[in-house]
Amino acid sequence: MTPEIIRETSEFIQNQLPDFEAKIGIILGTGLGHLAQEIEVLCEIPYHVLPHFPISTVETHSGKLILGTLGGKSVICLQGRFHYYEGYSMQEVTFPIRVLHSLGVKYLFVSNAAGGLNPVFNISDLMIIEDHVALFLPESPLRGKNPASFGPRFPDMSQPYDLELINQGKAILKELGVTVHSGVYTSVQGPQLETKAEYRLLRQLGTDAVGMSTVPEVIVAHQVGMKVFACSVITDLCFPETLKEAKFEEILAAAAQAEPSLTQLFIRLIQQIS
């Protein structure tokens, strides 16, 4: 993806609402679209209308860009994301992040549905992501040419998730009376779920939750200097010793149960941004 292509897409979006400016971007994961209903919508743009934009092929992802206000702040929300398993390259998966950066976004809030590997987790728990493992992805989204507008060629990843936002998020969940979890998220290629042996390996590596998204987007967001906050909803338990067959309808139900808490978490965090 070249700077010219990114600029064409961002200019198309900007032309829909010429006076609209937002420094907050949101990505909503599987079964977590309820937050979009809390946005005071000024403009909705289906992905297929956006020039050069990928098309979401996952049935639980709406596939539209929302410009509006949330928590009294202007936001750009991606209702539906893209995954490597859909057949997209890592550059295509992360193209929306480049576009958000071009539009002036400084903060990125990310949600996902994930399998829980930490034995203290329960279904529908929230886990604030403090760190991640990208080693199982096929390639880095930063592979290839690196124009100056993309950020440093070798970005430091010692703190990809903003510590201040993490601490604020923990405090908010505590105020809401929601169990506070934080941990390491590992992203894998998918779309198949993992075997018992693979879950054992992931747990030995220090993984608390596993999924098929988020990390590529966070890597690019961190490269361009965004402050990132990410939260997983634990939609199924992946303990090798007691592993049961995962059913998609149960995963969606678990995500729906956690949505009110996740929505309040994001809204209150966004309200605190100066």
Q: Tokens 């050069």 sit at which residue?
A: 52
Res. 36: pLDDT tops 90 = no
Res. 58: pLDDT tops 70 = no
Query: Given pLDDT bands bounded at 50, 70 and 90, which one contains residue 46?
Result: very high
Is the whole model's pTM more than 0.85, yes or no? yes
Handedness of CA 64, 230, 176, 233 (dihedral sign): positive
Tokens of 190: 């998918």
pLDDT at 231: 96
CA distance 154 to 168: 29
Higher-confidence residue: 19 or 229?
A: 229
Query: Given pLDDT bands bounded at 50, 70 and 90, which one contains residue 111?
Result: very high
pLDDT at 236: 92
Side chain identity at residue 140, one-letter code: S
| DSSP H or E run through 140 | none
> E strands within the chain?
24-28, 40-46, 64-70, 73-79, 107-116, 126-133, 181-187, 209-211, 227-237
Res. 60: pLDDT tops 60 = no
CA Rg value for the chain: 18
For 2-48, the DSSP string reads -HHHHHHHHHHHHHHSTT---SEEEEE-TT-THHHHTSEEEEEEEGG
Kindly report the average pLDDT of the chain as a whole number.
92
CA distance 139 to 16: 34
CA distance 152 to 144: 13
Q: Quick: pLDDT tens for 4-13.
A: 899 999 999 9
Res. 27: pLDDT tops 80 = yes
Q: Domain range spanning residue 55?
A: 3-272
- CATH number of the domain residue 33 falls in: 3.40.50.1580
In degrees rounded to 5, what are phi and psi of residue 179? -55, 130
Q: Quick: pLDDT tens for 207-237.
A: 999 999 999 999 999 999 999 999 999 999 9
Between CA 260 and CA 266, with CA 262 as vertex, the angle to 5 degrees is 120
CA distance 262 to 37: 13
pLDDT at 246: 79
pLDDT at 243: 86
End-to-end CA gap in the chain:
32
Tokens of 175: 């105020």
The residue-averaged pLDDT of 84-97 equals 94
Using an 8 Å Cβ cutoff, are 71 and 100 in contact? Answer: no
* Pick from 165, 139, 136: nearest CA to 226: 165
pLDDT at 271: 95
Res. 30: pLDDT tops 80 = no
Res. 129: pLDDT tops 90 = yes
The residue-averaged pLDDT of 37-64 equals 83
pLDDT at 37: 87
**Count of domains forming the chain:** 1
Q: Quick: pLDDT tens for 158-185.
A: 999 999 999 999 999 999 999 999 999 9
Q: Quick: pLDDT tens for 246-273.
A: 788 888 888 889 999 999 999 999 999 9
The residue-averaged pLDDT of 126-130 equals 97
| Residue 10 vs residues 34, 151, 181, 217: alpha-carbon distances, Å | 25, 18, 36, 17
